[in-house]
Structures are given as structure tokens and as C-alpha cells.
Structure 1
Amino acid sequence: MPPADDHYVLPPFAPARAAALRGRLGLTLGQVAWAVAAYCGSPVHPGLVEAWENGTATPESGHVKALAAALWCSPADLVGEAATLAQCRTVAGLTVSETATALGLTRGQWEDAERRDRWQGTPAQTDALLRVLCPPPACYVAACGNSARLRVLLREAATTWWPPYAEALARIVPLDPALLRHALERLHLTYQRWEGAAGGSPREAALAEARAADFLERVDLYLWHEIREAVNPPRPAS
């Protein structure tokens, strides 16, 4: 856990993860509340823990750490995907100094990267960043300042023909090129289905046009969804 003088910032709390972990451990809301209170040194009502699990209340970072202790897990197990370099470091459980050393930077250089949420390291430092902090692809692309470029590339690939854009995508997103080609093809097929529906009735055509426009507006989010589905396919219902 980073020391008090380091910026400690976790990704957004994931209520479903907390509820699932408590369920697997067979703990009651009261038991978890008691453990959180013992860790924090102040009373915690079982209703508050239930609100965290329902998503109607959001725990502060101190409560997330206490909840993790109560559920015998890491705080990283109770949060969503990291979206910034600072969040990546916090999830990795590293101090600013440890991170800087591991990446071949000075402390000041890494502090500046966190403050601006921008990454401009050398190829060797970038390899270390990907290995040590394992930033999610969306976080890495944003930190490199390539989000706008990515959206343009994806829109062109979806609306024209995707194969010529696969190599350019691989230069932006640090993932297996085969995985990226699969995701790019899926995006293209999805958009083309909505384009094809534009020849139906006026109502169907308008709906398809709206969906196609929304797809292009959020095409990068669809890319990340396709990648997550490929890496962690949904389990079949039992």
C-alpha cells in the first residue's frame, strides 16, 4: 500500500464484486460491518455495507481498504478498471518512488506523468510500464494521447473496409494483433448490419440510422467491449 505522502487513488468502486466476495465467504452484512468498523476505528452500520453493495452509496478509499481487509482480498479486487496512470499505480500497490525506479524514471518524471496523465517514455520504459503496471488498453491509449486518433481509425475501418487499418490499430493498442483484427472485424460487421437495415421501412431506417450514428460516436467503447468479450468470454448459463 502506498505511503501517506503518495497520492492514493483507486478506480471506481465495483458494488457487484463486493457482494460476490461476501457471498463466497458466507459472511453476513453485520459481520462485514463489524470488521470494517474494527479496521477504521469508527462505527459502521450493516445498512451502509448493504448500500455499498447495492450501489446506492459509494465508500471512500479508506472504507474500500477496510472492506478489502474484511473480505480477505486486495482493494484492487473491489474496484473497476483503472482509467489513469495514478490508478494503475495504486492498483499495483506501488509507491511513486518504486514505480519510477521500475520504469527507469526519476520520481519527478513519474509524478509529472501522473499529474498530467500523459505517457511519453522511451520504448524500453514503455515496455516496463506495460509489464509493471499492466494498464488497461483504454487507459494506455488515453495516456499516450491517442484517443482521438483511435476513434478516427475505428470509424474509417467500420464504414469502409477494416483490414487496411489493422496494422495502424496495432501500433496504438498494445495487444495481440490477432485479437485486434478480430475486434476490428466485429466492429465492421456490426456497423454494416445497421447500415443494411437503412433500406427498410421509414421507421426501421430511422432507427438503424440512429443506432449507426451512436455506434460511430462511441466506437472506441465498442472496441474495448469486443476485446473484453474475446479475452473473458461470458460463461454459458448452467
Structure 2
Amino acid sequence: MPPADDPYALPPFAPARAAAVRDQLGLTTGQVAWAVAAYCGSPVHPELVRAWETGTATPENIHVKALAAALWCSPADLVGEATTLAQCRTVAGLTLNETAAALGITRDQWEKAERRNRWQGTPAQTQALLRTLCPPPPCFVAACGRSEQLRVLLREAVTTWWPTYVGPLARIVPLDPAVLRHVLERLHLTYQRWEGATGGRAQQAVQAEARAADFLEHIDQHLWQHLREVLHFAGHPGRSTP
């Protein structure tokens, strides 16, 4: 994959997605290899396509784009979730200039934001960012430099009275408060089950205490996982004004 400062960096390649798209089209690896080779102008063996699909080899940026062309899909359909502002822009199919114009900032300002993966725009510019690039919540929170603040809030929420934390959480994570309320309640109940089990037999109590501590340590990861499940089931992004 391209280096982090590549102006057209894509998120990590998702082998299973590529294999699924090819299967849906009814194409062989040989047919895909021929199309990729035609796009790139250099030979590509069917075994290499198979290696990409099984994860034993990682295609370069140009090969991901060629593979997308061969499979009649977008490169975004063949990669995982964007984790940086640069990856969000690339997935959206925008240039540096187009992105800067959409956000109402200069190209230099946007390049600096990408280079540092740090977003410090005004509320209006932030809304434009959310509309234009649709960054995944983890990516947006990290770019705003609020990951640690989020973890602190989540730990407090699941260990105390969680409903009072929905508002503060919604000001960090750009999603519908109703969605956050649902997920926060699930996190609270999960933690309370482990916490409640610490009063059992000695060995079970030790195990439950360790599980509860590990849950708190990775509380933000649990939040993102629950959110992905809820939003996937609902079939909508659930985004709102941060």
C-alpha cells in the first residue's frame, strides 16, 4: 500500500470484499487478471489475483484501482474503513483542491490537516467536512484529537448513571443521539454484568474482575463495534450535527 503521505492513499485492502464482488459477477481470476493487466499496462498472473483475495499478497494502490475497474465497482468497495482524513478524501474520489473548496478553506490548510491528520475547523466547516467526506466516527474523533476525552466519558458512563452522558457523547461523536443512547445502554449493561459477577466464587470473581477491567481499557473499541452493528442493521449512517 502507498505510504501515509500519499495524496491518494486508500484504506487497507479488504480481500474478502474483492473475492465477493468477483463471485457476484461470475468472473474467473484469469478474466480479472487480464483486465487488471490491461489497466496497468503490465502482466498480472491469475495466481496474483488469487493471492490478493486470500490475503497472502497486498495489492499496490494502482492495482486496487485497476481491480475496481475490472470488477465494475469503486475502489472504496474493495477497501476497509478509512482511518485518516486523506483516506476519507480518496474514498470520496476528491482532489485536494476540490476538498478544500467544499470545506471553504485553502488547499494549504487542507494539506496541513491531512498531513497531521488533525481537524480544527469552525462548526460550519466541520459540517461541510461531514457532508463531503462522511468520515467514519472513529476517524473523525481521532482527527479532532478527542479520543482520550471519549474514553474518559465512556468509562464514567458505563460505571455510573449512563443517560447523563448521552449529550456530552453526542458532542464528540457525530451521530444521532438516539443511536448513541441505544449503544451506550448496551455498553453499560455489558459492563454491569461483569462487575456484578465479581462478587461470586473466588476464581470466577477474579476472572470477572479481569474481564471488567479489560472492557474498560478498550471501551472505545467496544463503542465502535456496537455502533457498526447497530448502523449496519438499521441501514443508515445515523449522522447528526456534532
User: What is the Cα-based RMSD across aligned positions, in Å?
Assistant: 1.4
The residue correspondences of 1:34-45 to structure 2 (distance < 5 A) are 34-45=34-45
**How far does residue 228 in structure 1 lie from its aligned partner after superposition?**
1.1
Residue 201 of structure 1 aligns with which residue?
A: 201
Residue 139 of structure 2 aligns with which residue?
A: 139
Length-normalised TM-score, structure 2 = 0.92
**How far does residue 107 in structure 1 lie from its aligned partner after superposition?**
0.6
Aligned partners of 1:126, 1:63: CA distance in 2, in Å? Answer: 33
**How far does residue 10 in structure 1 lie from its aligned partner after superposition?**
0.3
The residue correspondences of 1:148-187 to structure 2 (distance < 5 A) are 148-187=148-187
**How far does residue 155 in structure 1 lie from its aligned partner after superposition?**
0.7
One-letter amino acid of the structure 1 residue matched with residue 51 of structure 2: A
One-letter amino acid of the structure 1 residue matched with residue 116 of structure 2: R
Q: Matched residue pairs, number?
A: 230
Name segments (4+ residues, structure 1) moved above 4 Å.
Answer: none
**How far does residue 234 in structure 1 lie from its aligned partner after superposition?**
9.4
Identity of aligned residues (%): 77
The residue correspondences of 1:13-92 to structure 2 (distance < 5 A) are 13-92=13-92
Query: What SS does structure 2 have at the residue aligned with 1:232?
Result: helix
Q: Deviations over 1:136-180 (max 9, x none)?
A: 111110111100000000011111121111110011011100000
Aligned partners of 2:234, 2:90: CA distance in 1, in Å? Answer: 28
Aligned partners of 1:52, 1:43: CA distance in 2, in Å? Answer: 15
Residue 118 of structure 1 aligns with which residue?
A: 118
Query: What SS does structure 2 have at the residue aligned with 1:233?
Result: helix
Query: What SS does structure 1 have at the residue aligned with 2:112?
Result: helix
Aligned partners of 1:139, 1:192: CA distance in 2, in Å? Answer: 28
Query: What SS does structure 1 have at the residue aligned with 2:9?
Result: coil
Query: What SS does structure 2 have at the residue aligned with 1:172?
Result: coil
Aligned partners of 1:232, 1:104: CA distance in 2, in Å? Answer: 31
**How far does residue 215 in structure 1 lie from its aligned partner after superposition?**
1.1
Query: What SS does structure 1 have at the residue aligned with 2:171?
Result: helix
Q: Gaps (5+ residues) in structure 1?
A: 1-5
Query: What SS does structure 1 have at the residue aligned with 2:233?
Result: coil
One-letter amino acid of the structure 2 residue matched with residue 54 of structure 1: T
Q: Gaps (5+ residues) in structure 2?
A: 1-5, 236-242
Aligned partners of 1:210, 1:54: CA distance in 2, in Å? Answer: 35
Residue 104 of structure 2 aligns with which residue?
A: 104
Aligned partners of 1:67, 1:205: CA distance in 2, in Å? Answer: 52
